[in-house]
Amino acid sequence: MSVPDFAARPQLSDDVARLIRRRIFDGSYAAGSYVRLDQLAAELGISVTPVREALFALRAEGLIAQQPHRGFVVLPVTGRDVTDVANVQAHVGGELAARAAVNIDHDQLHELKQIQAQLEDAYAGDDEERTVRLNHEFHRAINVAADSPKLAQLMSQITRYAPESVFPAIEGWSSQSIEDHRRILAALEIHDDVLARAAMSEHLAAGAVPLIDHLVARGVVADTDRPAPR
């Protein structure tokens, strides 16, 4: 995957953090390896300031740790971590979808359908970067329609811990995601909050197992880190 043009947006440390997260979850930055501030800044063609801000943000998220006189080291990702994030996403996302089902208007529903059509087109074209962006837009549009800004803000914070960029590479996920999104849309269209909550919760929780399998295959998560079956 190509590196974005960070030089045009030198103050957006969020972009740098997003890149580092992606590299952690695709195995480019293995657990125990160091993310070198000066080296990454030089690679991206930016000053060290946004890189440092990004590293501090990722330290707060628990993805990296700062070691005195040595720099920032990547921490292990466990299967329990992935499952915990998916379960919290499922609960909060389900509530937002239920509220969206009650509040969504014709224009918002039309926008969602357009985003979904573009997303399916991106999946068909194997355009991973576009699918990640459109998938994010789909869920964000639902969260906006829920008209619950504090809850939506909480969901945004939780989503930072979920490796969205990994999902397009998971075998079979595109068809599963399309089917799930269509169920969510159908529930929103008839303003059924119960169906919307269930469809969204199931969609967000369903990603945990294939994601863990994918991360184990990449060496990001140790096979022994799989959570015990419930």
For residues 20 and 16, give the distance between their C-alpha atoms in angstroms, rounded to a whole number. 6
Fold of 6-74: Arc Repressor Mutant, subunit A (1.10.10)
**pLDDT, tens only, 138-196:** 999 999 999 999 999 999 888 877 777 778 878 888 999 999 999 999 999 999 999 99
pLDDT digits (tens, 9 = 90+) for 57-109: 999 888 999 998 889 999 988 888 889 989 999 999 999 999 999 999 999 99
Distances (CA, A) of 144 to 96, 111, 149: 9, 12, 7
Separation of alpha carbons 42 and 20, rounded Å: 14
**pLDDT at residue 156, rounded to an integer:** 87
Nearest Cα neighbor of 84 from 222, 175, 207 is: 207
Considering the entire predicted model, what is its pTM? Answer: 0.80
What are 35's strand-pairing partners? 72
CATH of range 79-213; options 2.60.120.280, 1.20.120.530, 3.10.20.310, 1.10.3720.10: 1.20.120.530
Query: What whole-number distance in Å separates Cα of residue 192 and Cα of residue 92?
Result: 17
